[in-house]
Structure formats: structure tokens, C-alpha cells
Chains A and B, each alone.
Chain A
Amino acid sequence: MINPQIKLLLGDEAVAQGAIDAGVSGIYGYPGTPSTEIITYAQRTPEVKEKKVIASWTVNEKTAMETALGMSYAGKRTIVTMKHVGLNVAADAFINSAISGVNGGLLVVVADDPSMHSSQNEQDSRVYGRFAMVPIIEPTTGQETYEMMRYAFELSERVKLPVLFRLTTRLAHSRTGVKTGEKLSQNHLDPPQDTTRFILLPSNAKGRYNGLIKMQEELEKFSENSKYNKFSDGTDTSLGIIACGIAYTYLMDNFLENPNPYPTLKVNQYPLPMKQIRELFQICDKILVLEEGYPVVEEYLRNNVFTENDKIVGKLTGILPRTGELNTDHVAHALGLPVEVNEFSSDAAFPRPPAMCVGCGHRDLYDELNEISKQIGSRRIFSDIGCYTLGALPPYEAIDTCIDMGASITMAKGAADAGIFPAIAVIGDSTFTHSGITGLLDAVNDKANITVLISDNYTTAMTGGQDTAATGRIADICRGVGVEEEHLKLIVPLKKNLQQNIEIIKNEINHHGVSVIIAQRECVKFYKKM
């Protein structure tokens, strides 16, 4: 029998369960791998409904962040969830919430994706945390993830700042037995007494900013006294090790049989605990920094603290790979330990890239666009983030760009402004509501010569079929933005409609101005009939 207190949870799910048990009142976010399962777990957990906790998808990460800030203003505990690039979208609200400060505990849970399993870059959210000058929590295990949610809420309410809670793919998407603890009730409604701090007029903001800078020393003290930043002694002081977050597991995996001989500082809370780091520098000849993502700690120590020596080794010195995820063997190499030689190997396996599903409407839309490209002899197709990005791969090879959420429409406009014809944008329904609408308004205002194809499958398919923000209302949104009725077309991308759809798209390409064609067909994998 499985102990009912132990739940088999993904790191993402441990975040959600940890938040629920810590008395969270609102969970907001936009789906993005590897963060999606935080909200999907919360939404299917009966206790969320029973306790009337709000667990909602929002239009994008910025609206999520601001909604959470409003809930925190009211005195309640709240989290906002996103993937690393989502924090770029939420950055304005995030950075400024550090100036205003928070009221109820507010955790910004961001899942980074080193190795780019499902992303366009491997940016490290700790850089943002430092930029905003807020505390950062970076757990090592699923159990710590669960426990540190409550810890982070308490920290956030104590220092009245948002706390950045950083996961990476291997933690977010690893499942392990998690022992759950006490369940706290939600905070009462308790808006702030001092309301001026939430009005960031320059006169208020200057004072708040000075306060934030003064507070850094206190935040460092919290880190130094944190039970999660654990210093362990070692007998061999030729090397000292700083191991951050999940990197600690790759270190300890090398010491399953023999104990770790090196003095080691495990870091789960930032700003860095400088007292322990200075001690480590004093007693050790060299310092190895192990961290998942950018060399944030290594660079900081090298540039700001210990500039006079070359004691620090890590990603910047090449002893560890500069890009991609860490693993046990990388750390073994850095420690000079032997690495197991493969007994078996084979080069007979061909790459098997992901592909759009059989029966997917995006496939038919790309068949139509490819036929048009053949007929008119040239094409530039500006695309976006979603399942349809897979149209870049053979056999379609149908798109020319994919940069960030919403960039299809705006890049097409810029290219059209520069003289490219035809300039075609392909964007999904969820990406359109996330960041496409504003760009479309720009295009309408300037009467840009672009043709926008919104491939509407009624769901957010790439991340597992979450609800979209405007199912059934895409055409109305386009009308509202000012797209002319005669250049707003609906098509159904099915084989039998191929010729007819090609004619419609070609006509709109030839219209000088903004045309929007909504290609509507439900997702073959996730759309549930209402």
C-alpha cells in the first residue's frame, strides 16, 4: 500500500501542491513547457475547487503577473507561473512589483529550459531575479520544491517583496515521492494601509527604489541564515564547491559510494550567502561553481567579489560545458573522476523529429500555402510559436521565421513596409490572443500590405490542450481591431476545400492592405466537443 501522505509528483505538481497547502488563493499563468503542469495539476485537484482557490489560464504572462499583484495587494497569497521566455513578457510588471513591493505573499514561478528541449533559448531567470533585486529560490529536489513553496511565501510576506521561484526542466518534469505536510488556511482580505507605495510616480518610486537597495543587505542575511543554504565541511581543501539548485544532485551522484571529500556549499536561496562563500574561499585552494543555466554565480563572484584571483573554475573556464544541461558525467569530468566508458553504441538510429499529427488542420493549411508559393514563385511566411512551427520541418518547410510569441504579424508588417511582397503571417489562435492582437492593430492603423492567417484549432495544443482566451471570438476581435469585413475570411482547411481555399488566400494576398483569413478546424488531438 502507498502511504497516503506520499504523493508521486512532478516538480511542477509539487509547486502546485505546495502552494495549495500553504494557503494560496490565486494561481495564474500562461501555458509553456516546462511550466504548464503547475496549473493543469491545480485545475484537476478537487481541493482547489473546495477551497475556492482560483487556478486560471490568462491571456499572457503579463496579465497573469499583474493579476497576481492585484491579489497580493488584497493581502492574499498568490503565484504566477510561466516558462523562462514568458518572464520577458511579464518583465515590466515583475521588475516594478519589486519597487512597489507586495502585500500578500507573491511567488513568480518560472521554469527555465536549459538544453532547449522545447524552447528557442536557454535564458536564465536568475538574471532577472538579480535585475529586479528580489530573493530567488531554487530548490534541489521535488521534496524541497514542495517545502520551499511555504518557505518562500513566508519570506515574501516578511520582506514584502515578490520572490522568484526558479525551476529547470529536469526538476519541473521529474516525478518523485513527495511527503506532504500541514495545510494552512488562506489569508484574510487585508489591503495595504500605506497605499502610496503602489503608486509608482517618480516621487514615490525614488524612495521605494532606495529602500529596495538598502534592503539587499537584509536579504543577504536571510540567505546566510537559511537552512536551505547548507555548508558541509570536507577533509580535502584543495577544492571547494558551490552547487546551486539541481546541480547539487549531479555533484552528489558522484559520491554514492565514497563521501564527498570537498567543503561544499549547497545554494537554494539568493542573494548569495556571502558569509559562507567567503569562508569557502578562505579555506580552499580552488572553487568549482556548479549551476544549471548561465554562469550567473560564477560571473558574479569573478567580477564583483574575488576579482584578484583565478581561483574560480566552472563554465567560464571550460571545465564544464557553457551550454545545455549539466549531468553527473560533466561534474565527474570537472572533479577529475573517471567516467564510465560505453560498452554499447550504435549510429544506426536516424533522427526522429517531432511532427504535426496525422489529421491536423495545420497540415492542410501548409499544403495550401505551399501550392500558392509554387504558383506565385516566391513567398515569405512569418510564423509564430505553436504546433504549426513544426511546419518548418520536412516535408512542409513552409515557414521562414519563428522568433517569439506574436512576432509573425509584426515582422510581416515590417517586412511589407520594407517592400517584401507577399508578406504572409501564420499564427495560432492562442498565440494571437497572447500577443498578436496589438500587432494587428499596428498593421491596420498603417494599412500595411500583409495577409494574416490565423490557424484556429480552438485550443493551446502544443502544451497539451489548454483552453484559449477567445475561442469563437477571433473574428469579432479582428473586426474590433478594424480589419475590413470584406477582407476578413473564414476557411476550413480540409483536403476537399484545397482549391477553393487557395483562391481565397490568393485573392487576399492580392488585396493591397490588411487581410485576415481564419483557418478554423478543431485540434485532432485535444479539442473536446463542448
Chain B
Amino acid sequence: MHDNIILAGVGGQGILSISAVLALGALSKNLYVKQSEVHGMSQRGGAVLSHIRISDSEIQSVLIPNGKANALISVEPMETLRYFSYLSKDGYLISNTDPYESDNYPEIEKIISELNKVPNRILLDAGKLALRAGNKKSANMVVLGAASPFLNLGEEAILEGMMAFFTPKGERTVSINMDAYKFGKEIALEMMQKK
């Protein structure tokens, strides 16, 4: 069992929370896990990238080589493109389409048409679903929910990771993030059926 997952977004969007949930989930199943994080200067509203590798055998490098990610999960559409080259030929792309704009931000239509080049893709407006769950900040869990059917880690482990990560933050945080996850997953399954 292997997962090579690239997580992308902008500083403050909760990339490291997705990363932590997946890592805790992997530990709950006694799997090996390695995950890279970004701290310091690049965190100040800059592009954030996290590699996470999960396996039932020992993991070597924390960094996923180009073309070897089976999933690219992103909370920001332009950031998705920045890390396109990591995705393997038959890998899954799960991306928010709600832009976090900055200077010189390209036209969103152009970004979406690039994203559409990936055959296995789930593109969704995670911000809208996060608001429905009760907090726009839970867009990261919407995206994780949408990615969950495509990860080898399996849902049971992901949910255990979420409980381990969110429980110390209080009941309400748990329920908002669980809802966000559920909404993301539902929409991904709907999209898959339509295909």
C-alpha cells in the first residue's frame, strides 16, 4: 500500500492541517509516513507545498519525485498548476476552483482550462461548501473529503486522523470539519457517477 500525495495552497489555507490529518490517520493504521512542511519566510502568504508519503513498507525520501504522485490535492487553483509536474499519468487531481487572488493573478478561465487537461480530476468550489459547513476556513477539509475516495489510505484511517487532530480543538470544530469533509466527499462521488 502506497500513497504519494502532493498538497498545495497558500500560507494560511490549512495545508499543514490536511497533512497532519493524513499522517495521524496513517499512524493509526500502523503505517509508515513521512511528510514535509514549510515554515518561516515562505509561510507569509506565499505558496505552500507539502509532500506526504504513506506506505506499509519503510519510506526513504520525504520528497516525491516528479511524475510520481498518485494524488495532487490543492486548496487553490493556480497553486495546483504550480505543482502539476508531480502528478503521475494516471494520478488523481482534486482541486478547489475558488481563487486566492494576488497581483497579476491569471484569468480563472485559463487556469480551469489547464486543469481540465488531467483526465482523472475533481474540481470543486470548496469555499462555498465550507461556508455551508459553518466556516470558510474548513475548505481544506472539503478538498480532503473530495480526495478521500481516491486515496489508498482509506476512509477509516482518514476519519481517525481527523478525530485525533480536531478533538483537542473542541466539539464544534470537529463537527464543522466533519461536515466539510462529508460535503466534499459527496460532491466527488456525484461527479464520478456522472462521468
| A residues neighboring B (CB under 8 Å) | 1-3, 6, 8, 10, 33-34, 36-37, 117-118, 142, 170, 173-177, 249-250, 252-253, 256, 327-329, 332, 339-346, 348-350, 352-357, 387, 390, 394-395, 462-464
Contacts and interface: CB of A to CB of B under 8 A. Distances in A.
A84 to B, nearest CB: 13
Contacts of B106: 348-350
A175 B23 contact: yes
A37 B81 CA distance: 30
A239 to B, nearest CB: 19
Contacts of A345: 84-85
Contacts of B193: none
B150 interface: no
Contact of A355 (B38, B46, B59, B68): B46
A463 B78 CA distance: 26
Which of B36, B39, B114 has the largest number of chain A CB atoms within 10 A?
B39
B85 A118 contact: no
B41 A118 contact: yes
Given A249-B60, A253-B60, A343-B67, A37 B39 contact: yes
A349 B45 contact: no
Interface residues of B, number: 55
Given A340-B66, A352-B10, A327 B39 contact: no
Contacts of B27: 2-3, 6, 8, 177
Contacts of A1: 28
A33 B43 CA distance: 11
A170 B36 contact: yes
Interface of A is mostly: loop
A43 to B, nearest CB: 16
Interface in B13-48: 19-20, 23-24, 26-28, 30, 32-47
Nearest to B67: A340
Contact of B81 (A142, A173, A348): A348
B39 A174 contact: no
Interface string B122-150: 00000000000000000000000000000
Contacts of A175: 19-20, 23, 33-37
29 contacts: A1-B28, A2-B27, A2-B164, A3-B27, A3-B30, A6-B27, A117-B38, A117-B41, A118-B39, A118-B40, A170-B36, A174-B35, A174-B36, A175-B36, A175-B37, A176-B33, A177-B33, A253-B61, A332-B65, A339-B65, A342-B84, A345-B84, A346-B84, A348-B78, A348-B111, A352-B45, A352-B47, A353-B46, A354-B11
B60 A252 contact: yes
Given A170-B62, A329-B66, A352-B47, A346 B39 contact: no
A343 B88 contact: yes
Contacts of A463: 39-40
Contacts, number: 160
B44 A2 contact: no
B61 A355 contact: no
Nearest to A358: B45
A349 B66 contact: no
A268 to B, nearest CB: 15
A8 B32 CA distance: 11
A329 B86 CA distance: 12
Interface in B52-74: 59-63, 65-68
Interface stretch (B97-105, B173-181, B183-191): B97-105
B61 A349 contact: no
Contacts of A352: 10, 45-47, 78-79, 102
B44 A176 contact: no
B162 interface: no
Contact of B68 (A6, A340, A349): A340
Given A3-B30, A348-B110, A348-B111, A462 B78 contact: no
Given A340-B88, A349-B79, 12 more contacts: A8-B23, A8-B24, A33-B40, A173-B39, A176-B62, A253-B61, A328-B63, A329-B65, A350-B102, A350-B105, A354-B11, A354-B41
